[in-house]
Amino acid sequence: MKELFRSRKFVFLWLAQAASGLGSTFAAFALSWLVYEMTGSKLAMGSIWLSFMLPNIIIQMFAGPFLDRWDCKKVMIFSEWFRAAVFLIPAILIPLDLLETWHLYLVAIGIGIAQPLFYPASMSYVAGILPKDKLIKGNSLLEGTGQIMMLLGPTLGGLLISAFGTELVLLVLIISLGVAGILLMMNPSAKKQQIEKRESWFKQFKEGLQFYRVYPVLFWVGMMMMLINFSSGAAQPMFLPYITDELSGSAFQYGLFTSAFSFGMVAGSFLTGTLKEPKNRKRVMLGSLLLNGILFLGLAWTPYYWLALVFCFGQGLFAIIFNINNTTLYQRRVPEHLRGRVFSVRVLLAQAGIPFGAALGGLFAEVYSIPLLFTVLGCMIALTTIVCWLHPIFEKLNDNDVINLDVQIKDEGEHKVSS
């Protein structure tokens, strides 16, 4: 790691990403708290997440294939300063007592546009400033720093809101995002290879779809994740009213609850990294999702805050175990020149359920109750996982044969022409 800190460019990127992570965590926390404090409505909590997730998914899907053409440093600076600018709206209007709910929807749309640009641009920038033999260490340090910010941010945000109010959290996040942009300005742009052929987004997206025809198990994993993420999208906006109303918790306890999920992800990352790669990937991936659904049922019916913390920790742990194995599966199966295109399709499949879950989850909780919502979501995840376990296509998760995707995709294209 010492050699990484000898690189001025990497150190500035690392500090910028740490500041960005803290600002992003505070942003989600402060926005949720303001919406629920102003409205007290579970439906409003769902709709504010919908306002964030819809532009988030659209930007990820359409920008993915084109990021290789853009200056990643400028993309990251835009992401940081644009988000800082939109949070000036509540920061200025709260002291003047002029803040209204629709202002917060504008903020949610703004961060939904800018936030998804930062992470892929950062990963691309790292590849341009570090030699190949330093990439694993560099990515590990950046990912670890991001997880630490996700771990500490909600608890710190809850503590600051409890002690000083939302205004201080807004000020800290604006400063954090602003400083991140300044640090990135001090770095040079990463060198990029010239792209000889510029293809339309539709053509690149179509080529990404062809990959799923060659390796269909990933398509069905994406469909499964659409249903799972529907449940996550419905549950996440309800965690604030769940803690404050159902368990009579404070802002600090809500922050601690959110941090428990991140702590579970850190523990799951460490556990996955120390153990050997599983021989039965299907059992590990689907088993993790099944346990996640069971923990949802635990959240639904526990009356104890500290037990809810344990359940939330477990959800983070099993979620990251699934994600790591799923990402590894993609890395091994997708050729390098198709990754941006396949990623666009993957985003569409996996995340399409989130905004619908956010909208319907808030409506369901408003009409019925949060415990009943969590019960339905837990059953949905468990049943989806069991159906996938019994379906023969998911046996392909254990397939370690290398597929020549370029040849198969080319053969499919020639077959279409000849037919």
Residue ranges per structural domain of the chain: 7-188, 200-419
Q: What is the pLDDT of residues 193-217, one digit of tens each?
A: 554 455 666 676 677 677 778 778 8
Of the two residues 323 and 68, the one the predictor is more confident about is 323
**Domain 200-419, second-level architecture:** Up-down Bundle (1.20)
pLDDT at residue 192 tops 60:
no
Long-range contacts of 118-124 (CB under 8 A, 24+ apart): 118/20, 118/75, 118/76, 118/79, 118/80, 120/60, 120/63, 120/64, 120/67, 121/67, 121/70, 121/72, 121/75, 121/76, 121/79, 122/13, 122/17, 122/72, 122/76, 124/67, 124/68, 124/72, 124/190
pLDDT at residue 376 tops 90:
yes
Same fold, 7-188 and 200-419: yes
The proportion of the chain whose per-residue pLDDT surpasses 70, expressed as a percent, equals 83
d(CA 391, CA 49): 33
CATH topology of domain 7-188: Growth Hormone; Chain: A; (1.20.1250)
Question: In this predicted structure, which of 217-231, 243-257, 332-346 has the lowest mean pLDDT?
Answer: 332-346
d(CA 108, CA 101): 11
pLDDT score of 413: 45
Asked if 86 and 178 count as a contact pair (C-beta separation under 8 A), the reply is no
Q: How sure is the predictor about 1, in pLDDT bands with cuts at 50, 70 and 90?
A: low
Question: In this predicted structure, which of 8-22, 358-372, 390-404 has the lowest mean pLDDT?
Answer: 390-404
d(CA 137, CA 49): 34
Structure tokens at 147: 């997880």
pLDDT score of 114: 87
pLDDT score of 364: 92
- Backbone angle region of 338, left / alpha / beta, with phi > 0 → left and psi within -120 to 50 → alpha: alpha
d(CA 384, CA 322): 15
d(CA 111, CA 90): 13
pLDDT score of 414: 45
The residues, any chain, with a CB within 8 Å of residue 228's CB and separated by 6 or more, are 289, 353, 381, 384
- Nearest C-alpha neighbor of 90 from the set 78, 113, 67, 108: 108
pLDDT score of 409: 45
- Backbone angle region of 166, left / alpha / beta, with phi > 0 → left and psi within -120 to 50 → alpha: alpha
Question: In this predicted structure, which of 15-19, 286-290, 386-390 has the lowest mean pLDDT?
Answer: 15-19
pLDDT at residue 157 tops 70:
yes
Q: How sure is the predictor about 64, in pLDDT bands with cuts at 50, 70 and 90?
A: low
pLDDT score of 389: 92
Asked if 186 and 76 count as a contact pair (C-beta separation under 8 A), the reply is no
Q: How sure is the predictor about 343, in pLDDT bands with cuts at 50, 70 and 90?
A: low
Q: How sure is the predictor about 42, in pLDDT bands with cuts at 50, 70 and 90?
A: confident
Of the two residues 360 and 155, the one the predictor is more confident about is 360
pLDDT at residue 342 tops 80:
no
Give rounded-to-5 percent helix, strand, coil for the chain: 85, 0, 15
pLDDT score of 323: 80
Query: What's the whole-number mean pLDDT along residues 79-86?
Result: 92
Query: What's the whole-number mean pLDDT along residues 236-257?
Result: 90
Q: How sure is the predictor about 67, in pLDDT bands with cuts at 50, 70 and 90?
A: low
pLDDT at residue 312 tops 90:
yes
pLDDT at residue 412 tops 60:
no
Instruction: Using alpha carbons only, give the angle 225, 315, 21 rounded to the nearest 5 degrees.
Output: 85
Query: How many angstroms separate the Cα of 273 from the Cα of each of 147, 250, 277, 398?
Result: 15, 35, 9, 19
Q: How sure is the predictor about 218, in pLDDT bands with cuts at 50, 70 and 90?
A: confident
Long-range contacts of 200-206 (CB under 8 A, 24+ apart): 201/62, 201/65, 201/66, 204/65, 204/340, 204/341, 204/344, 205/65, 205/341, 205/344, 205/345
pLDDT score of 336: 59
pLDDT score of 410: 47
pLDDT at residue 337 tops 60:
yes
pLDDT at residue 407 tops 50:
no
Asked if 260 and 312 count as a contact pair (C-beta separation under 8 A), the reply is yes
Mean pLDDT, all residues of the chain: 81
The proportion of the chain whose per-residue pLDDT surpasses 90, expressed as a percent, equals 25
